[in-house]
């Protein structure tokens, strides 16, 4: 379990095993740099959603 650097909510993180939910988020590089400056550790899904959006792959027929 991790605690969000912004709101202190506890959440599951799988970064140590390469399967964290945040790897499915798209955050612009300039925004990501700012987040790294402002916060010492990870953000929860709710807070990260304020700065980016979930990645998706359009389906093709």
In a domain, 39, yes or no: yes
Q: Give the structural domain span for 9.
A: 2-54
pLDDT at 15: 83
28 CB-contact burial (10 Å; exposed 0-12 / middle 13-18 / buried 19+): exposed
Backbone angles phi, psi at 16, to 5 degrees: -65, -25
Classify residue 59: in a domain, yes or no: no
pLDDT of residue 58: 47
pLDDT for the residue numbered 56 = 54
**Is 57 within 8 Å of 24 (Cβ atoms)?**
no
Residues listed for the chain: 61
Within-domain flag for 36? yes
Residue 61 lies in a domain: no
Task: Specify the number of domains making up the chain.
Answer: 1
- What's the pTM value of the predicted model, to 2 decimals? 0.76
Residue 24 lies in a domain: yes
**Structural domain includes residue 60:** no
Q: What is the pLDDT of residues 4-49, one digit of tens each?
A: 999 999 999 888 888 888 888 888 899 999 999 999 999 999 999 8
């Amino acid at each position: 379990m991790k605690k969000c650097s912004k709101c202190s909510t506890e959440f599951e993180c799988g970064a140590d095993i390469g399967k964290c939910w945040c790897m499915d988020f798209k955050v612009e590089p300039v925004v990501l740099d700012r987040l790294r400056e402002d916060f010492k550790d990870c953000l929860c899904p709710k807070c990260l959603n304020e700065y980016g959006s979930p990645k998706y792959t359009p389906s093709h027929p």
